[in-house]
């Protein structure tokens, strides 16, 4: 091939795609399947998060009822529940908004990638702030409850042990969050950033 024009000739002479025309039923089937897939993806995330919430609420409710009258235990459990309710609602709303952005005029490639990058990075920033608050608090609450329930003397009598347990719990939570963020946010954001740089490149 001497020039890209030769390729263009070849392309236009031989690249007539003889794809069968789609009928209405086929189009509807494909779209139904994609909607189902998209909903399933959102539902998987929702139910996973919901199951985790149910565990927290069930555990906290159980302890509140069992230790009714014990002010500190009730306070810790209530703090756990109260911490998660508003943050979960906000998280789910933002997730839903990210998944189903309102229909709008189709942007060019550069605009679209920019939008995707902004949307994802905004959600990621919120998630990081959410984690910055929720992970230490969850670790503290969980450590407090465990020591009150299972360690004689509670936190006061075992400050070093409680601190170590709290730090270990926090490290486990942080590691899980780090891996999740890397897979679902850092890598996709890097990829989008690379595409943006590629688009912006002049030479």
Question: Which residues here bind another protein, judged by CB under 8 A?
Answer: 1-4, 6-8, 10-17, 19, 21-24, 27-28, 30-35, 103-113, 116, 191-192, 194-195, 198-199, 201-203
Residues 6+ apart with CB under 8 A from 199: 109, 110, 113
Contacts of 189-193 with CB under 8 Å at 24 or more apart are 189/117, 189/120, 189/121, 189/124, 192/113, 192/116, 192/117, 192/120, 193/117
Smallest separation, CB 104 to another protein (Å): 6
Structure tokens at 149: 């329930």
Smallest separation, CB 35 to another protein (Å): 8
Q: Which is nearer to another protein, 61 or 100 (CB)?
A: 100
Smallest separation, CB 40 to another protein (Å): 14
Q: Which is nearer to another protein, 8 or 129 (CB)?
A: 8
Among 74, 73, 37, 77, CA closest to 57: 77
Smallest separation, CB 90 to another protein (Å): 25
Smallest separation, CB 122 to another protein (Å): 16
How far apart CA 1 and CA 116 sit, in angstroms, is 38
| Burial of 130 from C-beta contacts in 10 A (0-12 / 13-18 / 19+) | middle
Q: Which is nearer to another protein, 113 or 145 (CB)?
A: 113
Q: Which is nearer to another protein, 66 or 96 (CB)?
A: 96
Residues composing the chain = 203
Q: Which is nearer to another protein, 101 or 153 (CB)?
A: 101
């Amino acid at each position: 091939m001497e020039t890209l024009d030769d390729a263009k000739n070849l392309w236009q002479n031989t690249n007539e795609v003889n794809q069968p025309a789609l009928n209405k039923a086929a189009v509807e089937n494909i779209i139904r399947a994609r909607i189902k897939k998209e909903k399933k993806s959102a539902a998987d995330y929702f139910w996973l998060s919901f199951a985790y919430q149910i565990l927290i609420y069930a555990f906290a409710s159980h302890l509140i009822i069992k230790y009714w009258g014990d002010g500190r235990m009730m306070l810790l459990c209530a703090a756990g529940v109260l911490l998660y309710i508003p943050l979960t609602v906000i998280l789910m709303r933002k997730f839903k908004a990210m998944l189903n952005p309102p229909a709008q005029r189709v942007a060019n490639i550069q605009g679209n990638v920019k939008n995707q990058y902004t949307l994802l990075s905004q959600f990621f920033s919120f998630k990081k702030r959410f984690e910055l608050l929720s992970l230490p608090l969850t670790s503290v609450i969980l450590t407090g409850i465990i020591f009150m329930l299972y360690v004689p003397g509670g936190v006061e009598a075992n400050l070093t042990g409680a601190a170590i347990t709290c730090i270990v719990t926090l490290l486990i939570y942080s590691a899980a969050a780090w891996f999740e963020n890397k897979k679902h946010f850092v890598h996709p954001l890097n990829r989008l950033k690379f595409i943006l740089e590629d688009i912006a490149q002049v030479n």
